[in-house]
A and B are shown apart, each in its own frame.
Chain A
Amino acid sequence: MMRRFLLISVPYFWLLILFLVPFVIVLKISLSDTALSIPPYTPTFDWSDMGAFFRALDFENFLFLTEDDLYWKAYLSSLKIAVISTFFTLLIGYPIAYGMARAPEEWRPTLMMLVILPFWTSFLIRVYAWMGILSSEGFLNQFLLWTGIISEPLTILNTNTAVYIGIVYTYLPFMILPIYSALDRMDGSLIEAAEDLGCSRLLAFWLVTVPLSRNGIIAGSFLVFIPALGEFVIPSLLGGSGTLMIGKVLWEEFFSNRDWPVASAVAVVLLLILVIPIVLFQRNQQKQAEAEQ
């Protein structure tokens, strides 16, 4: 019994102290006064004096978030960017996953590996690679000028378009893998049965393949949407001054403005926004796990 207690308590307390307690602190600081909390600052944890603790709380920082339109614009713009890039990731990822699932059996492990390989390479480097491509004298513009499609270089880097491209590119494997595994499990004779019963190719795809890969689509979309919403690296390297994303705002609030209570309030609100998709994602995963049993 001692052994079981140790086995459970070591990872348990680790996560309590280094994951849960920090959130409580964020919550507390988000509810405390700016003036007191600007560094150098040592938060006083008067857990014993709970009464005074609660009296000291106020929602000033959250009110501040609603007053300054920078914040809600940043939240809205993050949502918009996350939704649009998730949509494009799905649009690009689905045909790739579909092609992989239809590929000859002996190719599939190699194709799988080719999808996973970028995931193991540095995220930062993959974002960086696009800086050289998208800049006004970059490869994309060079190529387009050479083909004669355009006569003037396009401005792509430091716009929202570059952010979309960056998100689609870096999160593509997260979309492909769950869809592929859903399609791979699908019995090929189902399509034949649908065609046998009078469906055209396209109709069979729409009526059989798409519904059967639904869980993969949902899982993939959440896996892209959730991290994209809080993304920091992509908007700060590929986006411009006009690119508003909440991860970047939080970073700047913290490192540049050094306003910790507001940064904490931003984090709390971001978390509240994320709770909905995270819960939906968990439920989808659970349903899928149950269906497999």
Chain B
Amino acid sequence: MQTVTFAPWNDPNEKPLIRFQNVTKKFGDFTAIGDLSLDIYEKEFFALLGPSGCGKTTMMRMLAGFENPTQGRIELSGQDIVPVPPNKRAVNMMFQSYALFPHLSIWDNIAFGLRRSDMPKNDIVDRVEEMLKLTRLEKFARRKPHQISGGQRQRVALARSLAKAPKLLLLDEPLGALDKKLRQDTQFELMDIQEKTGTTFVIVTHDQEEAMTVASRIAVMDEGRLIQVATPDRIYETPNCVYVADFIGDVNIIEGRATSVGPERYRIDWSDSLPPLTATSATPFSDGQGCHLAIRPEKVSISTERPAEADNAVEGKVLDIAYLGNLSTYHVELPGGTIVKAQTANTRRISRRNISWEDSVWLSWTATAGVLLAE
């Protein structure tokens, strides 16, 4: 979904829609957010990703106005919104529980926010119809929330929060209550609606796949800090630390010591008995510095014979095979006990597996396959 041209965060002249400036939020002695600064631009689909308790929900609630920062400033279009109460903010939120009013019909739920403004009655009717159409809920307008399915409730919640055409829409785990299949369909629907309405979306999620699918940029959070803010592909391919590499997707981490062997090329001594590995890195490492080599399993090839030309090749024994249908993941134990995962795509149907448990196999990868991380 990422278009080449849409990258306002790279344009120094672009004004951010939202700006967190050195924001700290404390609950008693507990620091939920610690001195955090972040810019989010108009029309972005921005994801706050992290485990529960990392502060992502607090960030969102500060944007909605349900929490106020202990220190720092939050700007919306250049204006400090900290003193503005939630009912006066041009920000709407889609709640994790959807928070649909059970005593009101779908129609009245969607109209609820519009009726609080000074919009003329006819315009309200038009706007509600428009939202019903956008979310394909025309047939259910007269029903009550308990009379529709979970997926439909999710769309009502979305329609209700979009009805007032907010500058910013906050989505708190919007798909958390749906089953996996429905969730995938809904992800694309969300992206579609975001594009159609041109609203800036900020989504909070703990599901990395969901963040990768929908977001233009992802902020990975942990313990109230931003760990990395980047586009999904950069987060995946060039994580800036072991935490991010480990949090997003599957990864092999090999710990060792780096020694420079050429321009941006390093030798990694990682085992007493096995030969050193080779990896490239744009970030410099001093000789003897401790490092972690992070390699995605799909970038590790597995073969029964020693590959002729490979930057790195190690021999090991197959411990486990996980057959996932489209993919197979091999868990290979190297001498010394390290376990490395290798993944292959099952491109042929019922090909006779030539690798089995206890087999001795070779794992290989190129010098550019992995990322060298300091911590």
Assess A/B contact in the complex (Cβ within 8 A): no
Chain B residues with CB under 8 Å of chain A are none
